[in-house]
A and B are shown apart, each in its own frame.
Chain A
Amino acid sequence: MSFLLDRRKFLLGAAGAGLAAGGLISFPFGLAQAAETKPITDRKLKIALSNSFIGNKWRLTMENLFKSALQMEPYKSEVEGSWFNSGNDVSKQSQQIANLISQGVDAILVDAASPTGLNGILHQASQRGILVVSFDNTVTEPTGLKIGMDEFNFGVLWAEFVAKKINGKGNVIMVTGVAGTYDDDERNKGGDSVWAKYPDIKVVARYTGMWDSAVTQTNTAAILPTLPKIDGIWSGSGTDGVLKAFVEAGRPLPPTAGTGENGFRKFMTKDGYMGQKVDGLSFDDAPFESVIALELARAVLRGTYPRGNVVLPAPAVTNDTIEVGVNVFPDQPDSLNCLFTDSGKNALVQFCIDAALNGTPCEGKLEVRLPKA
């Protein structure tokens, strides 16, 4: 046998070695039968969360709440949970979901890096009888379930609140979010649809707050001197920043409908904040959607809730329902997103602050109320 290999043979050999190494992985192939959706009642459920980006507070809170829920009953004894982050890397999230399929999980909860990029692998998950529930950044794959909030309706509810408080007459400002995003578009459209019904309401200013309280404060402070008396505020973005700019300009705070920052809610409390009080309506997209997804997966797998998409009601707080330590937290920073918990007697779910900040369990049992199917 000659050792006079030429370069070509060497390359082919190397390629062959690579393929042979790949061949170590055992064959044959076989597609598992699409499992019948019989309720699973006799064992713990394996439910995994496949998250994409983790680099902002909303996502961190979302994942913390998921972790917290897994340590509380009924999930503690009923669910074997796991969670993964892939960053905004679709191939990586796709590969992680493939690994979850290998693990034979019962359900995969997805906050996706792309609404379309995971469709291939999620389709394969569904084919293997795995329940897919997407939330927040949902996917377009048709066989999975989706949980969402109605962003158009957010805009409507905010505008209706303001319109009612000012008796359908007066000057309002609209502080919008990040232009070009779906959520911002829908919220603005919802707001505009209501203004169209009130000819006496004038939108005297409309500017972006980039979903950032610092930006809303700067932009509001810049535009305020040019504005007449403002009778109402519609703010889809950093509402606490808007109100602070009003306070600094020495203006009274008109009725305000907007997002869920702790700073905004401090103004809504009985004692007010920075010397002023506001009549407000506060809510936003809620990080506890991960836990709603967990409950939906559990209930569907157990056969106690029908398979179907879920639209969550807006977890709204007004001056009548605001409660220190429950949905506003005076000792926490203004930037805290209070939507880690819902409140009131029809609350979707209620969490303690430690769950949001550290992913630790709260006392007692966790009760998640899915909307009536």
Chain B
Amino acid sequence: MPQPKRKAAWIRLVEQNAGLVLSAVLLVIAIVLYCAIYYAAQGRLPGGFELTTTVNNTMPLVFAGAAQAIVVITGGIDLSVGGVIDLTNALAALYLGDSPLSMVLCTIGVIAVGGACGLLNGLLVAYGRLQPILVTLATLAIFQGLAIRVLPAPGGSVPEAYTAILANFEAPYSLVFIVVLLVVWALVRRTSIGVGIYAIGNDDLAAKSSGVKNLRSRVTAYVLSGMLAAVAGLFLVANATSGDPTTGNGYTLRSIVAVVLGGISLFGGRGTPISAVIGAFVSTMIVNILFFAQIDPLYQSFFEGVFLVVAVLLTAIISRLMRRRAVA
């Protein structure tokens, strides 16, 4: 009997990372389309300013998307992402101060607050055995309420140096932070907790019987999510140069959009936060494309919805085709 032919290594890799590949392809298409439409409208290609503002405006969603992705991979969902961003945005606007030391301490403190928010979610979901959607819906309201309490009206200020580091107006230096995110995630992914996060998303019981520490993995996922959402809040406040306790609200839904555009399955166990990062950029590109395509502003959200459905459909169809090939 002939041996079944082994597939080339790269085919298997593409198949294993279908979501990532698809989102990357989607991003390339979006960028090419954007450049084409921009060129048609402006008679030149986008330059440094366009790249910089696109990156700066996307950074909060990059981290919010990654935060959402980690929880989604466990098979859960985190509706409190927006609330954590509100709260951390407000805290940062008040306490960043002017000295390097206060900035560092405030940054660490804010990320710790995000982690604590995530810990609350994680404990309620893992030990309280409550539905993630209910827990995080409740904590969303709690965090939003705290944010308004911390900063009742928009205000506060961000030192210029802080903005220069996180949301530099001259060049897209903040891309560096995406590399940091990739490296950190690559490390986490290799720990037993990292493995556990995927395992519980695939099959909770099977994971448990194979020795995965289910509860600990789940709580850690929410804590990481809270910390990443806090970082999103920091980027938001840095780019705005001032605080607003409500501007994070939209990030709950937008982070889910980034996850979906990243080709991450909402059923859990599959995908990587990195593709949510790509999804975040796709989502900004859609705004850019619609802007330069001179669509009637009243129909913009309509077309955004259409783009989203088309993107999700494409992702679903292609990954289904790939799976069929893999089975055949």
Binding site for B on A (CB under 8 A): 3-5, 7-8, 10-11, 14-15, 17-19, 21-22, 24-31, 51, 54, 83-85, 87-92, 94-96, 98-99, 101-103, 113-121, 123-124, 140, 182
Contact = CB atoms under 8 A, between A and B. Distances in A.
Contacts of A124: 53, 169
A124 B239 CA distance: 11
B31 A15 contact: no
B250 A88 contact: yes
A98 B186 contact: no
A308 to B, nearest CB: 23
Given A4-B9, A95-B54, A115-B244, A28 B48 contact: yes
Nearest to A23: B51
Which of A15, A31, A90 counts the most B-chain CB atoms under 10 A from its CB? A90
B61 A21 contact: no
A116 B175 CA distance: 24
B8 interface: yes
B53 A116 contact: no
Interface in B79-115: 93
B1 interface: no
26 contacts: A3-B10, A7-B13, A11-B20, A15-B274, A22-B51, A24-B32, A25-B31, A25-B35, A25-B45, A25-B46, A26-B47, A26-B48, A27-B51, A83-B297, A84-B297, A87-B301, A88-B250, A90-B240, A95-B284, A95-B288, A96-B291, A102-B49, A114-B247, A115-B244, A118-B240, A124-B169
Given A14-B20, A96-B287, A98-B57, A3 B8 contact: yes
A98 B284 CA distance: 12
Interface residues of B, number: 72
A95 B167 CA distance: 13
B174 interface: no
B244 A114 contact: yes
Interface in B1-55: 8-10, 13, 16-17, 20-21, 24, 27-28, 31-32, 35, 38, 41-42, 45-54
Which of A15, A117, A118 counts the most B-chain CB atoms under 10 A from its CB? A117
Contacts of B268: none
Given A29-B171, A85-B300, A95-B288, A115 B9 contact: no
